[in-house]
Chain A
């Protein structure tokens, strides 16, 4: 195992640890409120907060663990994957968490695109990690927001990503963030107040598909997407 890998993995773990602290605080506070007001009319909402916050943290940990386990594989065998199906499942997984943040998940699958060479579980984990980051970054108390999952054809293949109205995402910010990952508290400062673990875990996962997270635009929205290689074999079917 190379020193570079060990160092990179350590930094990713640091961003993850930093990120999952806050869901634990949220759950702790929800428990405290339930103890103080056991018959509160907010019981249902608080229980939902505990369930959804725990799920989002667990999903992020699972995605990180997936990236660690893939490191052990000499070369990940890719297979044709239908992006529309993966994105539908990712959107479905994010939906409850988004609703609890007064956020709407918008799925855009219009246009012609065939299967891509990837691994289904890797793409879905990466998209969900990005999705949770965007929901957290976009949500504001008492403001309805929207997070869009979209696929579009590009010159180099098929781009799949997550978008919102957060306009401060740009290539310079992302490039700098990748250098500051695990070192700075807010490597993606203008995008997220947290450690941005979801973005870096997604980037690590897309790396196994010979891709990476890049800044992208979609119909006036700003986001992060990865370019995947179309499956030539099936595009003729």
Chain B
């Protein structure tokens, strides 16, 4: 239900959204769809979101693709340091209990704005 809420909200904001159930599907979908932004949950079934991001960043094509972490675990509890986030090129770390849909929308717009300007 929660994933559906994020999908519906972002679609209502005008974005095309693809949901992937695990890291493997995420890599495959990125390869096929060439997204402008990836939103990652750290608590992925069977795979850590951080491992996924390290793997993801190892591909030259996705080195600069914007990433937002949207997680049910806070950054402090996750043990992921700010320097690791920087190294992974994470644009924002959003903790689900503290993040409203409006705040998610604001962060997505902020991350995508440079791309939109570039496209114009």
What number of B residues sit within 8 Å (CB to CB) of A? 25
Q: Is A234's beta carbon under 8 Å from chain B?
A: no
Residues 92-108 of B contacting A (Cβ, < 8 Å):
96-97, 100-102
Min CB gap A176→B, angstroms: 13
Residues of B within 8 A of A178 (CB): none
Q: Is B60's beta carbon under 8 Å from chain A?
A: no
Once A141-B3, A189-B45, A189-B46 are accepted as A-B contacts, the answer to whether A25 and B21 lie under 8 Å apart by CB is no
Q: Is B62's beta carbon under 8 Å from chain A?
A: no
Q: Is A30's beta carbon under 8 Å from chain B?
A: yes
Residues 1-35 of B contacting A (Cβ, < 8 Å):
1-9, 19, 21
Residues of A within 8 A of B72 (CB): 21-22, 25, 194
Residues of A within 8 A of B45 (CB): 137, 186, 189-193
Min CB gap A192→B, angstroms: 6
Q: Is A92's beta carbon under 8 Å from chain B?
A: no
Report whether B44 and A193 are in contact in the complex, using a CB–CB cutoff of 8 Å.
Answer: yes
Once A140-B21, A141-B19 are accepted as A-B contacts, the answer to whether A100 and B1 lie under 8 Å apart by CB is yes
Report whether B96 and A186 are in contact in the complex, using a CB–CB cutoff of 8 Å.
Answer: no
Report whether B102 and A32 are in contact in the complex, using a CB–CB cutoff of 8 Å.
Answer: yes
| Nearest-CB residue, chain B, relative to A186 | B43
Residues of A within 8 A of B100 (CB): 28-29, 32
Q: Is A168's beta carbon under 8 Å from chain B?
A: yes
Residues 144-164 of A contacting B (Cβ, < 8 Å):
none
With beta carbons under 8 angstroms apart, the residue of B2, B41, B44 that contacts A25 is B2
Report whether B73 and A185 are in contact in the complex, using a CB–CB cutoff of 8 Å.
Answer: yes
With beta carbons under 8 angstroms apart, the residue of A24, A25, A141 that contacts B7 is A141
Residues of B within 8 A of A212 (CB): none
Residues 127-144 of A contacting B (Cβ, < 8 Å):
137, 140-141
Min CB gap B101→A, angstroms: 5
Report whether B5 and A29 are in contact in the complex, using a CB–CB cutoff of 8 Å.
Answer: yes
Once A185-B43, A190-B45 are accepted as A-B contacts, the answer to whether A29 and B73 lie under 8 Å apart by CB is no
Once A26-B5, A141-B3 are accepted as A-B contacts, the answer to whether A193 and B101 lie under 8 Å apart by CB is no
Complex A-B: 12 CB contacts under 8 Å: A22-B2, A28-B100, A32-B102, A33-B9, A36-B101, A49-B1, A49-B5, A100-B1, A141-B19, A189-B47, A193-B43, A193-B44
Binding site for A on B (CB under 8 A): 1-9, 19, 21, 41, 43-47, 72-73, 77, 96-97, 100-102
Binding site for B on A (CB under 8 A): 21-22, 24-26, 28-30, 32-33, 36, 42, 49, 53, 100-101, 137, 140-141, 168, 185-186, 189-194
